[in-house]
Amino acid sequence: MQNLSPSSVWFTLFESVYTSGSVTPSGLRNRLCTTLRQAINSGALTPGQRLPSSRTLAADLQLSRITVEAAYAQIEAEGYLQRHTGKGTFVSLSLLPPAAPRKKLSVKANFSTLSARGRKIVDTGGCHDPGSPTAFAAGSPDLRAFPLKVWKQLTNQQLRIQGERLLGYGDPQGYLPLREALAGYLQQSRGVFCRAEHIMITTSSQQALQLLAMLLIDPADPVWVEQPGYPGARNAFTSAGANICPIAVDEQGLNPVSGLPVPRFIYLTPSHHYPTGVSLSLSRRLSLLDYAKRHGSWIIEDDYDSELHYDGRPLPAMQGLDKHQQVIYLGTFSKVLFPSLRLAYAVLPESLVGPMVTLRTVNDGHSSQLMQAVTAEFMQSGHFTSHLRFSRQLYHSRRDHLLEQIKQKIGWLTPQVAAGGLQLAAYLPTGQEQHLSALAAQAGVATPRLSPLFLQTKDFSAAQPLDGWLLGFSALASTEITAAVDRLASMKVRSTS
């Protein structure tokens, strides 16, 4: 090929014209364009360099001349080439960096990288969803028990009835029939005072926490969290610059000492404290509400798995006790339907509805209308209640089975009876968490560790890390629980007395 170095780079590039799939004329032309652009962009062809005539190139590449002409015309129009009648086709000189000699560019330019906020976010390490539902990954419902057939029927039904209406942009506050179904459900089953207009649909509790953090926290604002506590919430607050104050949890729940900085908000999991499962007592609820009122703090009530309560009925939501619209109530479908649904909800004090909806539009618009419509129908047609009832019975028996198995077979593990939820905390002899977790991993059993759920702190009278595990039972059949406990029981554990 005249005026072109027959370098292997060039031939390698051209090979792409002949590889893969379709060979329509327009397909070939496009590939030739791509190849030429890449050759120019990569420096294999340099500004001012002459290209072969279309006739020569067509012969070399066994393409029709029309295809090559079309490709040249296309990338000439894009500014890559200049064609001069009688002289030939050249790589455009305008591609030379203006008024600077061409030089080898450094690949490692000195970029500014992340913002201070960005570095702080990366430093949190992020939030880790439960892995595959093997023993004892915590936090996932049993997806094998989900009524997928009904779900498919409702999906088809909604697409049939509503068609393209479900495909367009949606209400950033959430699909109204879903908010209505939720309002009824939350009032009836959780004692939450709300109407559809107080509810906002989000993709996850995590999103709700992130939005609230952005809306309510200025850098260095104090925020109270439970110690130990849910890392996802801490991470969201940290990413907004909050000053996180971990507060010890005892058998009645959060137990703030005096002298703590007045928080922007208090983050609570009152139904089943994450991770211990403790329920926040009524008198503590009332005194926290009173404190929040006197100090102008918000309360975030994360009611992430209260539907799955096994011993008696759960206490109604704290939100129902709130006379001053200070409680922001969060719930999710991830634990009671399925995580990849990406639907959760917040019940907001009236003054926050508008700001949160505005923020949602800036953040990511809205949630899938189809998924919301199917979920609304799933609730309205009674499937939700039956699935909840079924899950509750199933997980109840699994929790009991796990407790029983541990009691029978593992002397060094002290499980806590979680009154509900998808997992239970189990304590280990002091100083043994790392060692025993490594042994368990060798035995092929995942045992999420408890100590990372404690925030390292010196400033407050917060609890110090305890050794233990957070064992998920909800996604495991009884036989799987038995097998996993047997593997833990047969580990060669050092004497712990």
Q: According to CB under 8 A, which residues from 181 to 220 bind its own copies?
A: 187-189, 191, 202-204, 206-207, 210, 214-218
Contact by Cβ (8 Å): 10, 40: no
Which residues, numbered 312-341, are part of the site for its own copies (CB under 8 A)?
Answer: 312-313, 315-316, 320-321, 323-324, 326, 338-341
* Paired tokens of 378: 């799933």
Contact by Cβ (8 Å): 71, 81: no
Give yes or no for residue 366 binding its own copies (CB under 8 A).
yes
Other CB atoms within a 10 A radius of the CB of residue 149 amount to: 8
Encoded one letter per residue, x for contact with its own copies by CB under 8 A and - for no contact, window 10-49 reads --------------------x--xx--xx--xx-------
H or E segment to which residue 10 belongs: helix 8-15
Q: Tell me the C-alpha to C-alpha distance, in Å, between residue 213 and each of 39, 114, 233, 328.
A: 48, 20, 9, 12
**Given the rule CB under 8 A, which of 311-319, 391-399, 440-448, 487-495 is the region that contacts its own copies?**
311-319
CB of 366 to its own copies, least distance (A): 7
Encoded one letter per residue, x for contact with its own copies by CB under 8 A and - for no contact, window 221-250 reads x----------x--xx--xx----------
Binder of its own copies out of 150, 357, 388, 483 (CB under 8 A): 357
CB of 484 to its own copies, least distance (A): 19
Query: Rounded to whole angstroms, how far apart are CA atoms 119 and 134?
Result: 33
**Given the rule CB under 8 A, which of 103-111, 435-443, 460-468, 480-488 is the region that contacts its own copies?**
103-111
Nearer to its own copies, 212 or 462 (CB): 212
**Given the rule CB under 8 A, which of 253-261, 283-291, 399-407, 425-433 is the region that contacts its own copies?**
283-291
**Given the rule CB under 8 A, which of 309-317, 402-410, 423-431, 483-491 is the region that contacts its own copies?**
309-317
Which residues, numbered 139-168, are part of the site for its own copies (CB under 8 A)?
Answer: 140, 143-144, 146, 148, 152, 155-156, 159, 163-164, 166-168
Question: By CB under 8 A, how many residues form the interface with its own copies?
Answer: 120
Binder of its own copies out of 359, 471, 481, 488 (CB under 8 A): 359
Other CB atoms within a 10 A radius of the CB of residue 245 amount to: 20
Give yes or no for residue 358 binding its own copies (CB under 8 A).
yes
Contact by Cβ (8 Å): 95, 47: yes
Give yes or no for residue 77 binding its own copies (CB under 8 A).
yes
Q: Looking up tokens 């926040």, which residue turns up?
A: 280
Contact by Cβ (8 Å): 279, 271: yes
Nearer to its own copies, 52 or 231 (CB): 231
Nearer to its own copies, 67 or 207 (CB): 207
Secondary structure letter of residue 451 according to DSSP: G
CB of 178 to its own copies, least distance (A): 13
**CB burial class (10 A; 0-12, 13-18, 19+) of residue 218?**
exposed
Binder of its own copies out of 25, 48, 97, 411 (CB under 8 A): 97
Binder of its own copies out of 150, 176, 370, 443 (CB under 8 A): 370
- To the nearest 10 degrees (0 to 180), the angle between helices 369-380 and 148-162 is 120
CB of 371 to its own copies, least distance (A): 7
CB of 20 to its own copies, least distance (A): 9
Residue type, 349: P
Give yes or no for residue 121 binding its own copies (CB under 8 A).
yes
Query: Rounded to whole angstroms, how far apart are CA atoms 151 and 471?
Result: 29
H or E segment to which residue 329 belongs: strand 327-332
Query: Rounded to whole angstroms, how far apart are CA atoms 141 and 143?
Result: 6
Nearer to its own copies, 60 or 311 (CB): 311
Nearer to its own copies, 35 or 405 (CB): 35
Q: Are strands 222-227 and 265-268 parallel, antiparallel or unpaired?
A: parallel
Beginning with the edge strand found earlier in the chain, give each strand of the sheet holding 423-427 in spatial order.
Answer: 414-415, 423-427, 468-472
Q: Which residue, 186, 237, 229, is CA-closest to 210?
A: 237
Give yes or no for residue 129 binding its own copies (CB under 8 A).
yes
Exposure letters 322-350 (e unless 16+ CB within 10 A, then b) = beeebbbbbbbbbbbbbbebbbbbbbbbe
Which residues, numbered 284-303, are part of the site for its own copies (CB under 8 A)?
Answer: 286-287, 290, 293, 296-298
Query: Rounded to whole angstroms, how far apart are CA atoms 284 and 291?
Result: 10
Give yes or no for residue 365 binding its own copies (CB under 8 A).
yes
Say how many Å lie between the first and final Cα of the chain, rounded: 83
CB of 429 to its own copies, least distance (A): 32
Nearer to its own copies, 143 or 438 (CB): 143
CB of 304 to its own copies, least distance (A): 13
Residue type, 383: H
